Structure 1
């Protein structure tokens, strides 16, 4: 009996320490403030295009809210639909150069949704209601497009963290499956070889992330609205529509799971991965090996003289995307 009591005491003590550690890291770790910003040139790709993007439209979601998207109808009609998901801190407007190039060539109808928590006037900027809500929203949007284009090939693409969401969606339980994937310098995972610790502009609160991860493992989600990352975007490129902090539940919802290789393996449709050789955010040279191991059927291409944000407008990227679309 004494041994049993001792074991129970040790177990309870361990659980208490575990919870106390998680709470301390969550509640006592301040989020980083702006410091010396990275070079403004990195963000040139986020500047408003010379020609304004199409007006925003709304689509309904399963929770009764409505989210924004932009539509680029293909000239002359098309039997393909391409959905492009934007990256961290911004919204779908900066994808206009790629969307216009594809739609203008008559290759696909292109749609660029603004993710929940992002855009011009979200209900709660930088937050969602629960982990996985972005996948549910994406399913709702894809279901709508299936109704509008019942016979079209449905292709799902994303840039940076948007590419991460595409990978996460494929690796989950998607209600609507894509017929192909276009990944533009996708975020994979902070433990992936593609991660770059010196990216500079994304400043995660690592202690808080660890604390919230510990709490979530034991079912405590009450603190998942806490901000865990700050995007250090130069003020000269801001226009008031940026999303400069993310809650834990938004950040987790946006990226592949810890077993990111399993999510990558779920890309069981034709997949094109484009990365600029001069990418300032991720390790460009590491993508080929990661995909070869986890998703060997994917085609990975590195584009010379192209960076992270200008990838969506680079002539070489536009040409590669058009060539890929012609295969469907």
Structure 2
């Protein structure tokens, strides 16, 4: 684990590169799950020798979180991520930092880019990222995965806009986690509901275009053409309205979850990492 600024011990997995490398990739998991979702991709990238790979359990997630499905305040994920980067920079002082994420984790990447720590990253990796509930790529309720309490979210957001955060701990969204997962050996590690403050921390700000516009570093977006939660073909026209520093790869016959185990994903990401020019940002 690493120690966050509030003293919390937050766990992560480190996959050390099999060869000398100047890159460290942080991969942020999607909603409801934890860092083990990246085992196949992280293992392949590290074995290929293209990067060290770090997969944190975001606060409120994983096997033994202090408060499952909750954080202390909106924006705490970004503080935690900055603290993780500081930890990695002590261990790998000359590494370029690449921050990636899947689904909501990709949304957190976009949020991070638009926040006070965005310049800590040298590049970004977006794997079928969540932008906003009504962004052009998003299917209704993310294809049935998310069950948001929209009226509560709207009310709490209005209160936040006038500086009131007393009720941010209320649950605002639940996830349709399959029974096969909940009843399985890792069922206890699933997180099936989020508070308002965690849910808000996990997504770009409401004007997500501003966060995207801050992504001046190189980025790669990968999504599956059969994604159940997002319409992959809409990513590039939506995002390119705000930033032109990225490249896009859409995989046929690939859905939202199986993107992470798609045969071509590790190769595409590894090739991109090897050809990444981070000198102007590092």
Residue in structure 2 matched with residue 324 of structure 1 by the alignment: 272
Quick one: which of 4, 13, 31 aligns to 1:70?
A: 13
Residue in structure 2 matched with residue 281 of structure 1 by the alignment: 229
Residue in structure 1 matched with residue 157 of structure 2 by the alignment: 213
> CA separation in 2, counterparts of 1:155 and 1:214?
34
Q: Could you tell me how far 1:297 is from its partner in structure 2?
A: 2.0
Quick one: which of 166, 170, 178 aligns to 1:222?
A: 166
Residue in structure 1 matched with residue 89 of structure 2 by the alignment: 146
Quick one: which of 190, 193, 203 aligns to 1:255?
A: 203
Q: What TM-score results when the alignment is normalised by the length of structure 2? A: 0.94
Say which SS state the counterpart of residue 264 (structure 2) adopts.
helix
Q: Which ranges of structure 2 fall in alignment gaps of 5 or more residues? A: 277-282
> CA separation in 2, counterparts of 1:72 and 1:152?
14
4+ runs of 1 displaced by more than 2 Å?
none
Q: Could you tell me how far 1:176 is from its partner in structure 2?
A: 5.7
Q: Residues 82-109 of structure 1: CA distance to partner in whole angstroms, max 9, x if unpaired?
A: 1100000000001000000100000000
Residue in structure 2 matched with residue 20 of structure 1 by the alignment: none
> CA separation in 1, counterparts of 2:243 and 2:140?
24
> CA separation in 2, counterparts of 1:152 and 1:234?
39
The structure that has the greater radius of gyration is 1
Pair 1:292-2:236 in alignment: no
Residue in structure 2 matched with residue 246 of structure 1 by the alignment: 194
Of the structure 1 ranges 147-156 and 270-279, higher mean CA displacement relative to structure 2 is found in 147-156
Q: Which ranges of structure 1 fall in alignment gaps of 5 or more residues? A: 1-57
Residue in structure 1 matched with residue 176 of structure 2 by the alignment: 232
> CA separation in 2, counterparts of 1:280 and 1:74?
33
Q: Could you tell me how far 1:291 is from its partner in structure 2?
A: 1.6
> CA separation in 2, counterparts of 1:226 and 1:305?
38
Q: Residues 97-141 of structure 1: CA distance to partner in whole angstroms, max 9, x if unpaired?
A: 000010000000000000000000100000000000000000000
Q: Could you tell me how far 1:191 is from its partner in structure 2?
A: 2.3
Q: What is the root-mean-square deviation in Å for CA atoms of aligned residues?
A: 1.0
> CA separation in 1, counterparts of 2:217 and 2:114?
12
> CA separation in 1, counterparts of 2:88 and 2:162?
38
Residue in structure 2 matched with residue 301 of structure 1 by the alignment: 249
The answer to whether the Cα contact below 8 Å between 1:143 and 1:176 also exists between their aligned partners in 2 is: no
Aligned residues: 271
Q: Could you tell me how far 1:154 is from its partner in structure 2?
A: 1.1
The answer to whether the Cα contact below 8 Å between 1:99 and 1:110 also exists between their aligned partners in 2 is: yes
The answer to whether the Cα contact below 8 Å between 1:142 and 1:176 also exists between their aligned partners in 2 is: no
Distance 1:175 1:163, change over 3 A: closer
Q: Could you tell me how far 1:294 is from its partner in structure 2?
A: 1.1
Q: Residues 141-165 of structure 1: CA distance to partner in whole angstroms, max 9, x if unpaired?
A: 0111111111111111011100111
Q: Could you tell me how far 1:292 is from its partner in structure 2?
A: 1.4
